[in-house]
Each structure stands twice: as C-alpha cells, then as structure tokens.
C-alpha cells in the first residue's frame, strides 16, 4: 500500500475540490443556499455514504477519510481556528468596529457565560442523559460559541445594517475565548479540581483576556 503521508492527502484534495465546485455553482447560478450550509450537507452525505455502504471497500480514499476522522482534536483546533479567526478579522471595517466594541464584548463575555449556564441547566433537567451540572456545563460551553458565518452572509445579501452585521461578526470572533475558559473550568471540575472565586477569575483572565490583549498589542505594533 501507499505511505500514510501520501494517502492522507486524498480526502483533503477531494474535499477542497468539492468545496471549490460548490462555491462556483452557488455563485454562477445565483443560488440562495448559504455556502457553509451546502458544504455541511455535502460533508454529512459523504460521511453517511462512506459508513453506510463503503466503509470496508473505499480503498485509499476510505483510509484517508478515517485518518481525518481520527485526527487529534487539539491539532485541528490550534492549527485551523487561529487561521479562521485571523481571516475573519481582516474583513472587519475598523471604523464600524470602534462604534460597537462594547456591544461585542458584552455579547462575547457575559452573553456567552449566560448562554453556557442556560444551556447547561436545560441539558441537566430537560435532556434524558442524567448529566450532572459539570458535564452539562461542558456541553453548554461548546454550544454557546456560535459561528454565524451564514447569518452574516444572509444579512449582507438582504442589505441589513452594517452595524448589526458587525456586532454579530465581532461577537463570533471574541466568543471562543470565553467558551474555552468555561469549558476548561468545567472539564477540570469534572476531574475533581476545585476552584475558589479568585482562581476562577485568574483562569478566565488567562484564557480569555490574555489572548485578546496580546492581539491588540500585535495589532498596535
């Protein structure tokens, strides 16, 4: 068989080709389907077809897909997320951002924290899984960090206020730090770690605010 370092590119190349073709079709035919939704559906179909019909007989392509499914989640997070955030931040209009910075910070800070807690309570008491609050809080922190790319694209197409679009886009760039801080604390508590109020504040500052401050510093330089 071929070396793993060659096989791993099979799925990546096919996925990129599908994405480019989809983007071209949507723009050429002026379809109203958001690109991110179309790509999500295509990925869902590819995965479903593979596991349902061809899991044992797709050869190198199937092996490549399995490699990507089994990729280290931390590698995926730390390699792709900074690039996505940087790419979105380069599209921001600085003049509009200055006028809605406070709203973005409120949505990405207290807003995400409230969303995480509300989702955690719902998951603990409404879902039939018997989770304790720490597990439910992990679940809530994951769902609270939204990525409204399709929503912002739709707002732009409908001619909505640029300030509203910028508030949504700006919040999505900042909410990852808050969500990661909440998830880290909840996950550590699941493993038995206990926090004081001061330790919670210190952890939040390190995970959520330190990166924000470092970004401002590099931007200023």
Check residue 2 and give its pLDDT.
52
Rounded to whole angstroms, how far apart are CA atoms 36 and 110?
27
Under the banding of pLDDT at 50, 70 and 90, the label for residue 202 is confident
Poorest-pLDDT segment among 40-49, 87-96, 106-115, 117-126:
87-96
What token pair was written down for 175? 């909410």
pLDDT in tens, 134-190: 999 999 998 988 776 656 666 766 677 778 878 887 888 788 778 888 998 999 998
How many angstroms from the chain centroid is the CA of residue 68?
A: 17
Check residue 24 and give its pLDDT.
93
pLDDT in tens, 56-89: 555 777 788 888 888 888 888 778 777 777 777 7
65 Cβ contact partners less than 8 Å away, ≥ 6 residues apart = 11, 46, 47, 50, 58
Check residue 121 and give its pLDDT.
95
Check residue 153 and give its pLDDT.
64
Rounded to whole angstroms, how far apart are CA atoms 48 and 22?
19
Q: Is 70 exceeded by the pLDDT of residue 43?
A: yes
Rounded to whole angstroms, how far apart are CA atoms 221 and 175?
24
104 Cβ contact partners less than 8 Å away, ≥ 6 residues apart = 97, 167, 170, 171, 173, 174
Maximum Cα–Cα distance for the chain, whole Å? 58
Check residue 55 and give its pLDDT.
59
pTM metric for this prediction: 0.70
Contacts for 116-119: CB closer than 8 Å, 24+ residues apart: 116/140, 116/141, 116/143, 116/144, 116/179, 116/182, 119/143, 119/144
pLDDT in tens, 203-215: 887 777 777 777 7
Is the separation of the CB atoms in 184 and 159 below 8 Å? no
Helix axes 149-157, 162-190, angle to 10 degrees: 170
> What are the angstrom distances between the C-alpha of 190 and each of 93, 137, 202?
41, 10, 19
Q: Is 90 exceeded by the pLDDT of residue 48?
A: no
């Amino acid at each position: 068989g071929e070396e793993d370092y060659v096989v791993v590119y099979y799925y990546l190349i096919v996925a990129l080709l599908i994405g480019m073709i989809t983007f071209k079709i949507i723009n050429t035919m002026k379809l109203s389907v958001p690109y991110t939704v179309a790509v999500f559906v295509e990925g869902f179909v590819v995965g479903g077809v593979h596991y349902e019909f061809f899991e044992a007989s797709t050869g190198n392509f199937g092996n490549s897909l399995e490699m990507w499914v089994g990729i280290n989640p931390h590698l995926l997070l730390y390699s792709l997320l900074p690039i996505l955030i940087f790419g979105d931040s380069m599209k921001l209009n600085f003049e509009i951002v200055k006028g809605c910075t406070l709203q973005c910070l409120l949505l990405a800070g207290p807003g995400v924290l409230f969303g995480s807690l509300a989702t955690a309570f719902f998951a603990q008491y409404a879902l039939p899984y018997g989770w304790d609050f720490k597990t439910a809080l992990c679940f809530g922190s994951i769902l609270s960090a939204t990525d409204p790319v399709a929503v912002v694209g739709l707002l732009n197409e409908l001619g909505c206020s640029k300030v509203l679009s910028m508030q949504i886009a700006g919040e999505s760039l900042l909410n990852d730090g808050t969500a990661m801080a909440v998830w880290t604390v909840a996950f550590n508590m699941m493993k038995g770690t206990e926090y004081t109020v001061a330790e919670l504040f210190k952890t939040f500052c390190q995970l959520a605010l330190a990166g924000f401050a470092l970004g401002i510093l590099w931007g200023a330089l």
